[in-house]
Amino acid sequence: MMTATTLSTPSTPPTASSLTSRPGQASEAYRTARERLTPVFAEIAASAAQREADRHIDRGAVRALAEAGFTSLRVPVEYGGSGLTFAEQAPLILELAAADSNLVQALRAHLINQENVLGHPDEALRQRWLRRLGEGAVVGNAVTEINNAVGQGTTTLVQDVAGTWRLNGTKYYSTGTLYADWIIVAAVDAAGEEIAATVPVDAAGVTLLDDWDGFGQQLTASGTTVFADTPVAAEEVYAGGLDDGTRVATGQASWQFLHLAALTGIAEAIVRDGAAYVAGRRRSFSHGAAELPREDAQVLQVVGELSAAAFGARAAFDSVVTALGGILEREAALTDGGQLPEQDVDELYVRVYQAQQVIAKTVLAAATQLFEVGGATALSQTKRLDRHWRNARVLANHNPLIYRARLLGDWEVNGTGPERSYRVGSAPATPTPGAK
């Protein structure tokens, strides 16, 4: 039976907003990490509009983030990371999202892999990858295919006659690969069972293409990856799928969390850019309420409503940080293949899917309302304020809101646990009625 969706955690971590609004209460590790990252975030924000205009995949930006410690925030200090808690990392992800949501999306697979490594039961894998992450290695992904049936893949990982593992296939929407040092790949083995691997981006037979043609999130390096007899080290081959719903660290709750972070960061960027536009604008309208837009009560109302929208998105996001952080902490502490209570995991997924409905719709509306603060100059390509709506729209489309809303309704009405695993693909071909 369904119960109220109140999640209990062993401790109450600080929310993402509390860390940035009251930095004096943050840990020394958090303050040090933020001090290193603040100038990097500022430089990324200053160049975001121009990089998008030029479609410039700036590997230097991701390298600067790695060198400043962003890609190893959760890695223990003894391995070269900052050793932050999940809640301490969250506001830094938001700050990067406000600077450029493309880069949060590009590092999505990397951040998921970081959580996977921290709580992974395989000691050898954990040690190997903690060292790599602490040294600044960045991870991308090659998971999704097109023209495949739902839940099936055509990329193969099999051993050749000499016993070497070989990857063959083509992946699409390979987010982050052009910024990365390693790629996480989903495949099937000789028996058609799910299998996974990690391979260096410069391995033989790997081809990376920047051919993502979406109208938003254009700098996420979500292009095509081709593997042609690519050799894979035996220690980098992992039996089982990447997302079977059994682990929260690699499940849809964690993947969706990063979409919510990117959307919430966009909301904060909307307020920042809208306020800056109004503050510096001198042109007004004959029927405006004041000589200067910054003194116009109606314009100020719009900016105030944008501010409230960002606050609402942040509040929903913070609720996910608290819930997900607590569950990840408990999951990482499990031993001998233990599992978290189903009810607790169901309630987490309900919380994440609820937040998705609130945040995505709020940010999309705010990204449209932003243009009410000005006239034609707000549409200038030099400002590229439209990128906020385009980026938010693309993020919202990755996991369609209508399906997640249906899952929430089924939970509330019938007590059905929300689905945790996510698969995409083509439906089987069916004959056209009347065709011969």
pLDDT band of residue 286 (cuts 50, 70, 90) is low
User: How many CA within 13 A on the CB side of residue 120?
Assistant: 19
Q: Tell me the helix, strand and coil percentages in the chain, rounded to 5.
A: 55, 10, 35
Helix, coil or strand: residue 199: strand
Give DSSP secondary structure letters for 252-275: HHHHHHHHHHHHHHHHHHHHHHHH
The count of other CB atoms within 10 Å of the CB of residue 6 is 8
Judged against a pLDDT cut of 90, whether residue 22 lies above it is answered with no
Which residues, listed in sequence order, are joined to residue 195 by a DSSP beta bridge?
Answer: 187, 239
Question: What percent of the chain shows pLDDT beyond 70?
Answer: 87
Q: Which residues are within 8 A (CB) of 111 and not within 5 positions of it... i.e. 6 or more apart?
A: 93, 258
Per-residue pLDDT of 405-425, as tens digits, reads 999 999 999 999 999 877 665
Structure tokens at 178: 């052009």
In angstroms, the CA 432 to CA 434 distance is 6
Look at residue 289 and tell me whether its pLDDT is greater than 90: no
pLDDT score, position 17:
60
**Residue 275 clears pLDDT 70, i.e. is over it:** yes
Q: How many residues does the chain have?
A: 436
pLDDT tops 50 at residue 9: no
- Tokens for 387, please give them: 């990128």
CA dihedral 202, 207, 210, 213 (to 10 degrees): -140
SS3 355: helix
Per-residue pLDDT tens digits for 107-142: 999 999 999 999 888 899 999 999 999 999 999 999
User: For position 327, what pLDDT does the model report?
Assistant: 95
β-partners of residue 198 are: 184
pLDDT exceeds cutoff 50 at 151: yes
Report yes or no: 73 and 29 within 8 Å, Cβ to Cβ. Answer: no
Handedness of CA 365, 366, 368, 373 (dihedral sign): positive
- Separation in Å, CA 178 to CA 23, 33, 36, 55, 198: 34, 25, 24, 13, 15
Q: In the numeric block, which tokens belong to residue 35?
A: 């001090």
Report how far residue 58's alpha carbon sits from residue 333's, in angstroms, rounded to the nearest whole number: 38
Distance, CA of 126 to CA of 116 (rounded, Å): 9
Q: Check residues 345 and 427 and name the one with the higher pLDDT.
A: 345
Q: Which two tokens stand for residue 44?
A: 């990324």
